Chains A and B, each alone.
Chain A
Amino acid sequence: MTYREAVAAGLAQEMARDPSVVLIGEDVGAAGGVFKATAGLLEKFGARRVKDTPISEQAIIGAAMGAAMTGLRPVAELMFADFVSVCHDLVANQVAKARYMTNGQVSLPLVVRFGNGGGLRFGAQHSQSVESWLMAVPGLKVVVPSTPADVVGLLAAAVRDDDPVMFLEEKALYPTSGEVPEGEHVDELGTARVRRPGKDCSVIALGTMADRALAAAEQLQAEGIDCEVIDLRSLVPLDMTTVAASVAKTGRVFTVEENPRLCGWGAEVASIICEECFYDLDAPVRRITTPHVPLPAADSLEDAAIPSAERVAAAIREGLG
């Protein structure tokens, strides 16, 4: 199953199970989604549950919020993750804070789906990795799956969670495929996964970068360097237990981040490692990120910007050297 098909499969699994799960967004119904990630859902669940909206991102998130506070479990799609900037008020001021400001009177079991990240030559306004923006707002959960199985399992967990979950689908991964367990599949939010065990260094990655880190690890294996690759899968909650166990074993840490450098999630992870795992470290934590620039469109420029397997391997080689 492709990553793209896994989105529709995860949504279908939850919509079939729970009639309070509804889906809204621009072109999510009749067109099956701009990324075709919701194809077939309108046909399966009908126009009452799969609703096309106008180009009104505030209205979309507002509708999801109002519905979530009154008994539904809406899933809203924002199409390109960059568009969260036109409804940042609804996401960051309203959705994120409602439970806290009301001292628990309001619950918001909603999911916002985004097409996140670069690699498609779309330029600076359709390619951003917004996970670090969202991670910075108290009250939001932030999930980034990297495999079709994780898409299904984490999406199901997100839908069942009673908090607002920002579900970032990596656009570059939509065409990739992988095995998905038979039958109902539900994962757990806030759990990292060791995608490849190793003893020489811990490579901590997220989303598309998890695949790049794995590819880099393969290259390095041939040179006798044994990398442990951790796919965080979720930034909030953040699974530092898995990370700390790995650091205790390897003593060397690299983060691989698609976001621009400043305040990327790796900065927080590195700071926690420095505070709590300092005596396990044999060298400074190194961050491998996109440089602090808006993402350019041309193939050669975008490829130079986002960490590639080669760049990750080179940084690890140099760091361990």
Chain B
Amino acid sequence: MARDTAREPVKTGPDYLEVRLGIYRGMVRVRYFEKRAYDLFLQNLVKGTSHLAIGQEAIAAGVAAALRPDDYVFATYRGHAHAMLRGAPMVAVMAELLGRENGLMGGKGGSMHLTYTEGNFMGSYAIVGAHLPIANGAAWSALYRGTDQVAVAFFGDGATNIGAFHEALNLAATWKLPVVFVCENNLYMEYTPIRKVTAVERPAADRASAYGLPPVLVDGNDADMVFETATRAVGLARGGGGPSLIEAVTYRHGGHSRADPGKYRPDAEVAEWLAKDPIPRYKERLLDEGVAAEVLERIEAEAAAEVDQATEQAKAAAPAHPGGLEREVFSDGGATWRR
């Protein structure tokens, strides 16, 4: 059975308050951003598909706070938060969603493929599970080059049933790679409850023993607990102790993607989890501990203004230029396949 880390102590002290305000700012920024992205989707300005992580922000922000700027992060198609928490400029992310010239990848990737290598955010991957083996590669390279960088891969509960997950876990454990696997268990793989299609109760934690790893289960809606858990796992990896597999339990407030209303979920279950919204919960805790309301309100106002500005700048930009179509297939910058 998985160990519950929820009762372990939270760090205190003035430095740690800065970290926690950073976590709060991170969560609020991505929440406001994604709400706006949803509005723009309804206005048909965000085309294709997008997968929102509203409700799941504590995992992204908690883990991000435990990382160094030179660590490597790999995420899924549900990756807006992870990209921005690694420094991807909000306007560039918004513009990418809108298919604009100033998009993070010039419109070539879209919502599901956000990548920002300047922040060592090594990509968002839309084939379930594919990036776990790739994160291993970054970790292997760090080990080989003798840096003490760590690679982190975020993925859903559904990804624990695909082969790449198991191949990656086995290799990471065998090679003792500095990699942290973070399962964002939001209880559903697309529209199917994960328990209906999984042989064990805890899709990630109960699999850990198969790879010689201890089970780690954490309340994914408690940013402090996520931060603590991630800090331990990252420290272990950095110190040569090998990989970790963390299962962080959470819930997405909305549907799986696009306009999915999520009707396959019982009302009572949704209500229960809305009440566990990680952002108000964190705010309350900070206020209880004596953080001034104005400090948090300023963070919220700044985030709201940033989202407005990013929206304006993205909307005002030209559509992605067709001139980019045949660029960057190969390293000479072009797409030429013959001579």
Report the minimum CB–CB distance from A247 to chain B (whole Å).
Answer: 15
Q: How far is the CB of B86 from chain A (nearest CB, A)?
A: 13
- Of A48, A56, A163, the residue contacting B167 (CB under 8 A) is A56
Task: Report if A61 contacts B (CB, 8 A).
Answer: yes
Q: Considering the chains assembled together, what is the distance between the CA atoms of A109 and B137 in angstroms?
A: 13
Beyond A59-B167, A93-B127, whether A99 also contacts B330 by CB under 8 A is yes
Give the distance to chain A from B177, nearest Cβ to Cβ, in Å: 9
- Closest Cβ of chain A to B87, distance in Å, is 13
State whether A104 touches B327 (Cβ < 8 A): yes
B234 located at the interface, meaning its Cβ lies under 8 Å from any Cβ of chain A in the complex:
no
* Beta-carbon contact of B130 and A89 below 8 Å: yes
Partner of A59, one of B168, B324, B331, B339: B168
Q: Which of A71-120 contact B (CB under 8 A)?
A: 71-72, 74, 89-90, 93-94, 98-107, 109
Binds A, one of B22-30, B141-149, B218-226: B141-149
- B100-118: which have CB < 8 Å to A? 105-106, 108-109, 113, 115-117
Tell me the count of chain A residues lying within 8 A, CB to CB, of chain B.
Answer: 53
Contact between chains at B109 and A63 (CB < 8 Å)? no
Specify the chain B residue showing the minimal Cβ separation from A138: B329
Report the separation of the CA atoms of residues A22 and B175 in the bound assembly, to the nearest whole angstrom: 15
B328 lies within 8 A of A104 (CB) = yes
- Most central of A59, A105, A162 by chain B CB within 10 Å: A59
**Bound CA span A59–B168, Å:** 6
**Cβ-defined contact, A71 with B141, below 8 A:** yes
Instruction: Give Cα A242–Cα B167 distance, bound, in whole angstroms.
Output: 44
Among A62, A67, A239, chain B packs the most CB atoms within 10 A around the CB of A62
Q: Are B106 and A62 in contact (CB under 8 A)?
A: no
Contact with B along A22-50 (1 / 0, CB 8 A): 10000000000000000000000000100
* Interface assignment of A66: CB less than 8 Å from any CB of chain B: yes
A64 within 8 A of B: yes
Contact of B108 with A105 in the complex, beta carbons under 8 Å: no
* Residue pair B106, A103 in contact (C-beta under 8 Å): yes
Flag if B133 contacts A63 (CB, 8 Å). Answer: yes
Q: Is B287 an interface residue (CB 8 A)?
A: no
Does any Cβ of A come within 8 Å of B164's Cβ? Answer: yes
Q: Does B212 contact A (CB under 8 A)?
A: no
A194 at the interface (CB under 8 A from B): no
**Interface flag for A190 (CB, 8 Å):** yes
* Contact assessment for A56 and B171 in the assembled complex, using a CB-CB cutoff below 8 Å: yes
Which of A69, A101, A238 has the largest number of chain B CB atoms within 10 A? A101
Cβ of A237 within 8 Å of any chain B Cβ, yes or no, is yes
Residue of A nearest to B328 (CB): A104
Flag if A63 contacts B338 (CB, 8 Å): no
Q: How far is the CA of A196 from the CA of B322 in the complex (A)?
A: 44
Q: Which residue of A lies closest to B320 (CB)?
A: A103
Q: Which of A54, A106, A161 contacts B170 (CB 8 A)?
A: A54
Q: Is A99 a contact of B329 with CB atoms below 8 Å?
A: yes
**CB of A225 closer than 8 Å to a CB of B:** no
Given contacts A70-B72, A93-B127, A106-B115, contact A101 B109 (CB under 8 A): yes
Q: Is the CB of B331 within 8 A of A162?
A: yes
Whether B145 pairs with A63 at a CB distance below 8 angstroms is no
Q: Which of B72, B144, B328, B335 interacts with A103 by CB under 8 Å? A: B328
For the complex formed, measure the closest distance between the CB of A71 and the CB atoms of chain B, giving whole angstroms. Answer: 6
**At the interface, yes or no: B227 with Cβ under 8 Å from chain A?**
no
Q: Is B137 in contact with A63, judged by CB distance below 8 angstroms?
A: yes
Decide: B170 and A62 in contact? CB cutoff 8 A.
no
Known contacts A56-B171, A59-B133, A66-B135; A101/B142 CB under 8 A:
no
Interface presence of B54 (CB below 8 A):
no
Known: A102-B115, A138-B335. A94 touches B127 (CB 8 A): yes
Asked whether any CB of chain B lies closer than 8 Å to the CB of A221, the reply is no
| A-B complex: 10 closest residue pairs judged by Cβ atoms | A66-B137, A62-B133, A162-B331, A56-B167, A59-B167, A104-B328, A66-B138, A67-B141, A102-B115, A103-B105
Q: Contacts A66-B141, A100-B328, A239-B339 given; 12 further ones with Cβ under 8 A?
A: A58-B164, A61-B133, A62-B134, A66-B133, A66-B134, A90-B130, A90-B134, A104-B328, A105-B117, A141-B330, A236-B337, A240-B338
Q: Which of B's residues lie within 8 Å of A, judged by CB?
A: 72, 105-106, 108-109, 113, 115-117, 122-123, 125, 127, 130-142, 144-145, 151, 163-164, 167-168, 170-171, 174-175, 324, 327-331, 333, 335-339
19 A-B pairs with C-beta separation under 8 A = A54-B167, A61-B133, A62-B130, A63-B133, A63-B134, A64-B137, A65-B134, A66-B122, A66-B135, A67-B144, A69-B138, A70-B122, A90-B130, A90-B134, A94-B127, A103-B106, A237-B336, A237-B339, A238-B338
